[in-house]
Chain A
Amino acid sequence: MATTPYRVIGTRPVRHDGADKVTGKAVYTADFKLPGLQAGFVLRSPHPHAKIVSIDTSAAEATAGVSAVVTGADFPNVQDKIAQLGEGSVNLAHLSANCMAKDKVLYKGHAVAAVSATNAHIAEEAAAKIVVEYEILPSVTDIMEAMADDAPLLHADLFTDDLGQKADTASNVAVHMHFEKGDVAAGFEQADVVVEAEFKTATVHQGYIEPHAIVADYNEDGRVRLWTATQGSFTCRQQTAEILQIGVGDVLVTPCEIGGGFGGKIAVYLEPTAAILSKKAGRPVSILMTRTDVFEATGPTPASFMRVKVGAKNDGTLIAGEAWIAYDAGAFPSGVIGHGCTCVFSCYDIEHAVVDGYDVCVNKPHTKAYRAPGATQVAFAMEQLMDELAEQLDICPLEIRMKNAVKEGSRRVDGPVYPQIGYVECLEALRDSDHWNSPLAGDNRGRGIAGGFWFGCGMKSSAACSVNSDGTINLLEGSTDIGGSRASLAMQLAETLGIESSDVNPMVGDTDSVGYTDVTGGSRVTFATGLAAYEAGIDLQSQMKVRAAELWECETSDVSIADDGTFSGNGKTAGFKDLATQLFSSGEALVGRATVAPECPTNGFAAHIVDVEVDPDTGKVTILRYTAIQDAGTAIHPSYVEGQMQGGAVQGIGWALNEEYFFNDDDQMTNASFLDYRMPTMLDVPMIDTIIVETGNADHPYGVRGVGEPPIIPPPPAIGNAIYNATQTRMRELPMSPPKVWQAMQSSD
Chain B
Amino acid sequence: MATIFIPAQLRTLTAGIEQLEMDVHNVREVIDQLEQRFPGIRDRLCQQDQISPSLQISIDSVITSRGMIAKIQPNSEVHFIPAIAGG
User: CB within 8 Å of B: which residues of A?
Assistant: 82, 84, 87-89, 161-165, 175-180, 206, 261-264, 266, 335, 338-339, 341-342, 354, 368-373, 414-419, 454-460, 521-524, 597, 599-601, 708-709
Contacts and interface: CB of A to CB of B under 8 A. Distances in A.
Contacts of A458: 63, 65
B85 A88 contact: yes
Contacts of B79: 414-416
B7 interface: yes
Contacts of A264: 87
Contact of A341 (B62, B65, B82): B82
A28 to B, nearest CB: 20
A43 B12 CA distance: 49
Contact of A415 (B9, B58, B63, B65): B58
Contact of A521 (B47, B52, B86): B86
Contacts of A521: 85-87
A415 B10 CA distance: 14
B84 A371 contact: no
Contacts of A263: 86-87
Nearest to A371: B87
A285 B74 CA distance: 56
Contacts of B77: 415-417
Contacts of B64: 599
Given A163-B10, A164-B43, A178-B8, A414 B82 contact: yes
A601 B84 contact: yes
25 contacts: A88-B83, A164-B44, A175-B54, A177-B9, A178-B8, A179-B7, A266-B87, A335-B82, A335-B83, A338-B84, A368-B87, A369-B86, A371-B87, A373-B85, A373-B87, A416-B77, A455-B86, A457-B86, A521-B87, A522-B85, A522-B87, A523-B86, A524-B86, A599-B62, A708-B86
A178 B9 CA distance: 6
Interface string B44-87: 11010000111000101111110000000000010101111111
Given A415-B79, A599-B64, A372 B10 contact: no
Interface of B: 5, 7-11, 43-45, 47, 52-54, 58, 60-65, 77, 79, 81-87
A610 B72 CA distance: 45
A84 B53 contact: yes
A339 B62 contact: no
Nearest to B18: A180
A510 B21 CA distance: 46
Contacts of A178: 8-9
A386 B25 CA distance: 42
A258 B47 CA distance: 36
B86 A415 contact: no
A215 B82 CA distance: 35
A89 B53 contact: yes
Given A460-B65, A600-B62, A339 B53 contact: no
Contacts of A165: 44
Contacts of B53: 82, 84, 89
Given A180-B8, A373-B85, A521-B86, 11 more contacts: A164-B45, A175-B54, A335-B54, A339-B84, A371-B87, A372-B86, A373-B87, A414-B82, A457-B84, A460-B65, A599-B65
B5 to A, nearest CB: 5
B65 A414 contact: no
Contacts of B83: 88-89, 335, 338
A372 B86 CA distance: 6
A206 B86 CA distance: 13
A384 B55 CA distance: 30
Given A179-B8, A460-B65, A82 B47 contact: yes
B19 to A, nearest CB: 9
A483 to B, nearest CB: 13
Contacts of B47: 82
